[in-house]
């Protein structure tokens, strides 16, 4: 992880999250090298796409919701899946969660989460295994942001979260109305999120926090 940490520190810089300024992340920007790297250049460098380097709209919406509604996670056990930068996990920790696990299969994401947790002075456990491959753990709250880029991922996530909810967990998902987001979830809050137009196709993006679980029925 030391090489990943060094890469992140060399290619990004700490700055506030636009719609969640209470949180700072190591982010790519127009003045950092990774912003200019093409997909082919990333492939040649054997680097996965740097999803961890940007605060995506769904994650920003969910982080904003947690900080505005801390009772959602206060004193509870929390797992953030496909954590990316760790933004949502950090918000859960700042909102008073009893424990927070941030999960992402990308080792660079794991390094970014650790750096960002340190930057914000919160304690987060980082895991890189594929949680979707097994049975859901018995935790109070599952969180996820921006999980509907691809149909297969969206379907796998919904299946996992439906099983988690059947076991008694609450599930909150932030998403900016992407094409593969499932229908039938409970709408909790809507936000206009400030984003980077070059990666989200507009500077302001509507995003919604959705819920699954008996607590929201």
What's the confidence (pLDDT) of residue 33? 62
Fold assignment, 2-216: Rossmann fold (3.40.50)
199 pLDDT more than 70: no
Residue at token pair 């700055």 = 15
State the pairing for strand pair 20-27/77-81.
unpaired
pLDDT in tens, 100-151: 999 999 999 999 999 999 999 999 999 999 999 899 999 999 999 988 777 7
What's the confidence (pLDDT) of residue 83? 97
Rounded mean pLDDT of the chain?
88
Q: How far from chain centre, in Å, is Cα 2?
A: 22
pLDDT in tens, 60-112: 999 999 999 999 999 999 999 999 999 999 999 999 999 999 999 999 999 99
pLDDT in tens, 42-66: 556 556 567 888 899 999 999 999 9
- How many Cα neighbours within 13 Å face the side chain of 137? 14
Sketch the domain layout of the chain as residue ranges: 2-216
């Amino acid at each position: 992880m030391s090489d990943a940490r060094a890469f992140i520190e060399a290619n990004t810089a700490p700055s506030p999250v636009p719609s969640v300024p209470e949180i700072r992340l190591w982010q790519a920007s127009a003045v950092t090298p990774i912003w200019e790297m093409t997909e082919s250049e990333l492939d040649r460098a054997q680097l996965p796409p740097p999803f961890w380097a940007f605060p995506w709209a769904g994650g920003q919406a969910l982080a904003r919701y947690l900080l505005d509604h801390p009772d959602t996670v206060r004193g509870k056990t929390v797992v953030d899946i496909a954590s990316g930068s760790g933004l949502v996990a950090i918000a859960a920790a700042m909102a008073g969660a009893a424990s927070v696990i941030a999960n992402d299969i990308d080792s660079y994401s794991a390094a970014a989460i650790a750096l960002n947790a340190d930057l914000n002075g919160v304690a987060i456990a980082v895991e890189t295994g594929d949680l979707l491959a097994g049975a859901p753990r018995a935790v109070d709250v599952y969180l996820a942001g921006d999980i509907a880029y691809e149909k297969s991922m969206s379907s796998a996530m919904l299946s996992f979260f439906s099983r988690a909810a059947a076991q008694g967990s609450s599930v909150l998902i932030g998403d900016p109305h992407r094409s593969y987001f499932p229908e039938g979830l409970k709408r909790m809050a809507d936000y206009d999120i400030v984003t980077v137009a070059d990666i989200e196709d507009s500077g302001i993006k509507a995003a919604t926090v959705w819920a699954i679980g008996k607590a929201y029925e």
